[in-house]
Chain A
Amino acid sequence: MISSLEKRVQRRIFSLLFLAFTILVAGCSGKVDSSKEINVWHWMTDREPAFKELAKRYEAKTGIKVNFDLYAPSDAYSQKVRAAAQGSNLPDIFGILGEKRDFSSFVKAGYVLDLSPYMLEDSSKWKNSFFEKALALNEFKEGNSYGVIPGIYGVPIDIMTIQMVYNKSLFKQLGLNPNRAPQTFEEFLQIGEKIKAAKMQGLVSGWGEVWMIDCLANNYAFNIMGKDKVLATIRGEVPYTDPDWIKVLSLFRDMSNSGVLASGVVTMVNKTAEQLFANEKAVFAFNGSWCVNVYKEMNPKLEYGAFLPPRVSDKHPMAIWGGAGSSFMVNARSKNKEEAVKFLRWLTEAPQQAYLAEQTNNLPANKECVNRIPEVLSNFARAMDSATHPSVWGVSEFSPVIEAFDKGIQSIIIGEKTPEQIAAEVQKIKERELARKKK
């Protein structure tokens, strides 16, 4: 009797374990067979409700269900996409976060569909609907240094520019004209003296996340030495110890000394910077066009204006980072790739783009609806003429060099090292990386 009971219990345990194991294995596969469904992975928390609404509209129009799956924060999303690529579990549509080098690796591995044939249909109708610079970020041209077959591999959903903003009310308190932003670097530093005297806080930005330091430094590098010399430096033809690069680095020392930088800016995360600016506790901020939505949510009464970083030199134009804000790619191995392309084409048509801009205050990638956006946003959009981005330069700097450069600027701001010291350190790393590449 006992033996039979034991056997029954054992059989039940075994069955349960087998069932649990089967469920686990089935769960790990992660593949969803859905011929009438398009799966989209994204990281854009602020755009989630608008995406869901657009998905509903698309389903009503075509009968095809679109599932937007949000994975935030962006770091986690980025890792998820890489892991999914390794396991061949990418969804029909996804975005790639990271540098152009990462994007190129996805393309070379065959995970991303070349959209050029679709873009060029009907006399390039789809291609021509976008801002040229927005599309450039997703394009690999003939002879690109990444070794990617030329083509357009992504669809820009919106665009962005990163520039400076100033608080008009605080400008009035400082006795400045609230409708005139500083035009030159000298003027900017003079305002810094006023800020220091008034015991206010100057420029806030997410320089604790370092890439934003890199962005401003590159803006000034373009202004001081021009695009060709910047690119020559990346190619290893001009050293970072060149006087022009030392001048770029010295600007951060000058900003720090003048008082135009808020204290603690070197370890500040952008969220904190946005809170400080929105709460009128900082005169300037260096931020992307996404800030319009953030500031509106935090303080709808905030009066501010956007402007290009004040120029140092008249020899070369000031360039700011900008282009495609977020882009979607189509999985080249997806069974639904044709449907996915159709959906992206619909998503980037003027009515949908206008809806997205209206709901999320992001600049639309479709240039046909730029007249329908609020004034502050159009300030950012106007700056698209000055926009550039490392992704469109055709060459990319080594990551350890970028890190040493950005961390070095932090050291200059806190007065720990001189621009000359940092230039020498960066150049040493550059030479090491070049030697490693040669090997």
Chain B
Amino acid sequence: MKLKATLENYALVAPAVLIFSIFYIIPFFSVLQLGFYDWDGILPTKIFVGWSNFKEIFSDRIWWQSLWQSGYITIIALTFQNILAFLLAWACDREIRMKNFYRLIFFIPPVLSEVVVGLVWQWILNGNYGILNSWLVHFGHPDLVRNWLSDPNTALTTVAIVHCWKGFGWGFLLFLAGLQTIPRELYEAARVDGANAWESFKNVTAPLMIPVVVMVGILTILGTMQVFVLIYTMTGGGPGYHTEVPVLRILASMRGSSRFGYACAQGITFGVILCAISFVQYLVSKKARN
């Protein structure tokens, strides 16, 4: 009877385990295995090359440049995007008019398709016919007019800002949810004790929002380091290599060079880097909470 029950239990979880294995575990180990092979993605024969793909990554200047560039976009997202998201959430948490309307508006960019956002911003930022340059001329700043996406001095920051515009809504939503969980009585007690708005923020809001800030931070890092579609649509990684990011490089190795083994090695390296960043952030946040 007990054996039957055990078998039944196993039978019930078996489909889920099987599906999980087929779609997650087996591909994961296949990628891991392919990282040690030279394979063009078509021929059935794969040549074992040992650590050579991983060694090549260390001397691949463009790969490390792309990693630094996604790091730069992440820093802008962590600061500019999240501060904006927090301020807007804080404003919408207060008793202001039409706050539901603002909540809706701020959450529109994240739900739009990245391809659509990329193409729309490409038109806004177009050097010849873009709205941004027209406005700059209209408001008396023709000296600021430039080709935002083709100028190596502005291309990366421009795509970073568009990425922030696209992504701040998620942070806004999470921050707003966090702010709404803070009991109102705490603010009332602070007011009774003579605290002004800044002191209430410093002593009530900020400490209670740390877990949310940490979570938004981790999600921002993981999401931004893997940014791809937006950049692919807006600049394709150009001009030159100025907006290349790791996922674009992996795609270039796979599709451009037909080097699936090297692309898998890049993917594994990138995954390890992301895990390391998340782990460090987890340790830092744990220390901050303590």
B258 touches A101 (CB 8 A): yes
B150 touches A414 (CB 8 A): yes
B18 touches A264 (CB 8 A): no
A99 to B12 alpha-carbon distance, docked (Å): 48
Shortest beta-carbon distance from A8 to chain B in Å? 13
Q: Which residues of A lie under 8 Å from residue B126 when comparing CB positions?
A: 264
Knowing A14-B12, A85-B42, the reply to whether A267 touches B152 (Cβ < 8 A) is no
Asked if B213 CB lies within 8 Å of chain A CBs, one says: no
Asked if A105 CB lies within 8 Å of chain B CBs, one says: yes
Asked if A78 CB lies within 8 Å of chain B CBs, one says: yes
Other-chain residue from B147, B235, B239 in contact with A411 (beta carbon distance below 8 A): B239
B15 touches A416 (CB 8 A): no
Other-chain residue from A208, A209, A400 in contact with B257 (beta carbon distance below 8 A): A400
A14 touches B151 (CB 8 A): no
Shortest beta-carbon distance from A29 to chain B in Å? 13
Query: Which B239-282 residues have a C-beta within 8 angstroms of A?
Result: 239-241, 252, 255-259
Q: Which residues of A lie under 8 Å from residue B19 when comparing CB positions?
A: 21, 24
Asked if A281 CB lies within 8 Å of chain B CBs, one says: yes
Asked if B205 CB lies within 8 Å of chain A CBs, one says: no
Asked if A75 CB lies within 8 Å of chain B CBs, one says: yes
Q: Which residues of B lie under 8 Å from residue A281 when comparing CB positions?
A: 128-129
Q: Which residues of B lie under 8 Å from residue A21 when comparing CB positions?
A: 15, 18-19
Q: Which residues of A lie under 8 Å from residue B238 when comparing CB positions?
A: 208, 210, 266-267, 407, 410
Q: Which residues of A lie under 8 Å from residue B155 when comparing CB positions?
A: 267
Asked if A399 CB lies within 8 Å of chain B CBs, one says: yes
Asked if A173 CB lies within 8 Å of chain B CBs, one says: no
Shortest beta-carbon distance from A207 to chain B in Å? 8
A208 to B256 alpha-carbon distance, docked (Å): 14
A399 touches B258 (CB 8 A): yes
Asked if A198 CB lies within 8 Å of chain B CBs, one says: no
B147 touches A263 (CB 8 A): yes
Encode A44-81 as 1/0 by CB contact (under 8 A) with B: 00000000000000000000000000000001001100
* B241 to A, closest residue via Cβ: A407
Asked if A10 CB lies within 8 Å of chain B CBs, one says: yes
Query: Which A255-295 residues have a C-beta within 8 angstroms of B?
Result: 262-267, 269, 272, 281
B257 touches A263 (CB 8 A): no
B240 touches A414 (CB 8 A): yes
In this complex, the member of A13, A267, A410 whose beta carbon has the largest number of chain B beta carbons within 10 angstroms is A267
Asked if B110 CB lies within 8 Å of chain A CBs, one says: no
Asked if A118 CB lies within 8 Å of chain B CBs, one says: no
Other-chain residue from B12, B43, B128 in contact with A264 (beta carbon distance below 8 A): B128
* B contact face: mostly helix, strand, loop, or mixed: loop
Q: Which residues of B lie under 8 Å from residue A267 when comparing CB positions?
A: 149-150, 155, 234-236, 238-239
A: number of interface residues (CB 8 Å): 46
Encode B1-25 as 1/0 by CB contact (under 8 A) with A: 0000000100110010011000000
B: number of interface residues (CB 8 Å): 36
Other-chain residue from A10, A20, A99, A407 in contact with B8 (beta carbon distance below 8 A): A10
A410 to B241 alpha-carbon distance, docked (Å): 9
Encode A1-24 as 1/0 by CB contact (under 8 A) with B: 000000000100110011011001
Q: Which residues of B lie under 8 Å from residue A416 when comparing CB positions?
A: 152, 239-240
Q: Which residues of B lie under 8 Å from residue A85 when comparing CB positions?
A: 42
Shortest beta-carbon distance from B191 to chain A in Å? 53
Q: Which residues of A lie under 8 Å from residue B147 when comparing CB positions?
A: 263-264
Knowing A263-B147, A264-B150, A267-B149, the reply to whether A106 touches B12 (Cβ < 8 A) is no
Q: Which residues of B lie under 8 Å from residue A105 when comparing CB positions?
A: 40, 42-43, 258
Asked if A338 CB lies within 8 Å of chain B CBs, one says: no
Other-chain residue from B11, B127, B240 in contact with A407 (beta carbon distance below 8 A): B240
B256 touches A410 (CB 8 A): no
Q: Which residues of A lie under 8 Å from residue B15 when comparing CB positions?
A: 17-18, 20-21
A333 to B83 alpha-carbon distance, docked (Å): 59
Asked if A187 CB lies within 8 Å of chain B CBs, one says: no
Encode A386-402 as 1/0 by CB contact (under 8 A) with B: 00000000000011100
Asked if B44 CB lies within 8 Å of chain A CBs, one says: yes
A82 touches B42 (CB 8 A): yes
Q: Which residues of B lie under 8 Å from residue A208 when comparing CB positions?
A: 235-236, 238
Query: Which B101-156 residues have a C-beta within 8 angstroms of A?
Result: 122, 126-129, 147, 149-152, 155
Asked if B41 CB lies within 8 Å of chain A CBs, one says: yes
A50 to B44 alpha-carbon distance, docked (Å): 36
Shortest beta-carbon distance from B62 to chain A in Å? 9
Q: A263-B128, A266-B150 are in contact. List 10 more A-B contacts (CB 8 A).
A: A21-B18, A82-B41, A108-B43, A109-B42, A201-B128, A208-B238, A262-B128, A264-B147, A281-B128, A403-B257
23 contacting pairs across A/B (C-beta < 8 A) = A10-B12, A14-B8, A14-B12, A21-B19, A79-B255, A101-B40, A102-B42, A105-B42, A105-B43, A108-B43, A264-B149, A267-B150, A267-B155, A267-B234, A272-B122, A407-B240, A407-B241, A410-B238, A411-B239, A414-B150, A414-B151, A414-B240, A416-B152
- Chain A residues near B (Cβ < 8 Å): 10, 13-14, 17-18, 20-21, 24, 75, 78-79, 82, 85, 98-99, 101-102, 105-106, 108-109, 201, 208-210, 262-267, 269, 272, 281, 398-400, 403, 407-408, 410-411, 413-414, 416-417
